[in-house]
Structure 1
Amino acid sequence: MATTAPKTAAAKSDEAVEETLATASKIAADVPAPVRELAEKSVQQAKDGYARWKAAAEETSDAFEDALATSSKGYKEFSRKSVELTRSNVNAHFDFLQALIGAKSVSQAIELQTSFARQQFEVLSGQAKELSSLAQKAATDGTKPFQDLASKTARFAQSQ
């Protein structure tokens, strides 16, 4: 038994429009010429309107797909960087603990602790800035397809 792939929403819409237009054409053949001309003009306007609507819907769908792909890429980069920084911080902490275990006196241990705390504060501040920058870039890049779509829509609306 052969299976058929389900129709997409766009294909179903196209089919419904074509059926409606075919029915209108059949009906138009049986009416007087002035009415038929008006009907044909209306049918053409409907076809043109549907074509514009379909193009806009496809652009919107493409914008969503682009935004998703771009956001996904940005957040993957953010996640990768987070793991990398965490690994670096854990390694630094183990190195500190190893040095602390080897301390010969309490004053040396306090000096190691103070130095490590100062160094980690600077490192963590830099890492926070880097992660913040990556998150901001991911968010900005993810919204760009929508901004482009809004610009196109505004230009289209002005031209009508």
Structure 2
Amino acid sequence: MAESTDPFSSSVIPFQVPEQVRAFAEKGVSQAREGYAKFKDAAETHNSTVEAVFGTATKGAAEYSAKLLDIAKTNTNAGFDFAQSLIGVKSPSQAMELWTAFARSQVETFTGQTKQLAELGQKIATETAEPIKTGASKLFQPAA
């Protein structure tokens, strides 16, 4: 037989939540919803920033690769032209002059190509970092 103090008996009086506790709980739920909405907005902004960074980096990598191929083509053609002109040489001194001129030309060419690659690398890095800066400025706006 069940005692009258048994908490599982059907004669237990239902518990009433005081109005202050209910208001506090509702306020907590409201704040949690606001926090979630802000977090969701930040996550969506972050995702679009990541997409923009990868898109820009991919475009930059393709541009850099194309430049490297262009440089390789230029240098290869210069080497073939040098070899072809070396075939028509009549004396060792003429070969030495040709060789010296080619070496000087290649040093100048390599210097220019290195400068072009450095400038292109800087441009790509700047363009790739731009979406990050934009996203960060939106995320960390100063308080009004």
Same fold (TM over 0.5): yes
CA distances 1:37-94 after superposition (whole Å, capped 9, x unpaired) = 2222221111111000111111112111111111111111001110111011101100
Which ranges in structure 2 are unaligned for 5 or more consecutive residues?
1-15
| Residues 1:68 and 2:54 aligned together | yes
Matched residues, number: 129
Structure 1 counterpart of 2:69: 83
Whole-angstrom CA distance in 2 between matches of 1:111 and 1:37: 94
Sequence identity percentage:
47
Whole-angstrom CA distance in 1 between matches of 2:17 and 2:143: 35
For residue 43 of structure 2, what is the amino acid of its counterpart?
A
Whole-angstrom CA distance in 1 between matches of 2:50 and 2:17: 45
Q: CA RMSD in A?
A: 1.6
User: Structure 2 length normalisation: TM-score?
Assistant: 0.82
For residue 57 of structure 2, what is the amino acid of its counterpart?
S
Whole-angstrom CA distance in 2 between matches of 1:74 and 1:152: 24
Residues 90-129 of structure 1: matches in 2 within 5 Å? 90-129=76-115
Larger radius of gyration: 2
| Residues 1:147 and 2:133 aligned together | yes
Whole-angstrom CA distance in 1 between matches of 2:95 and 2:43: 66
User: Structure 1 length normalisation: TM-score?
Assistant: 0.75
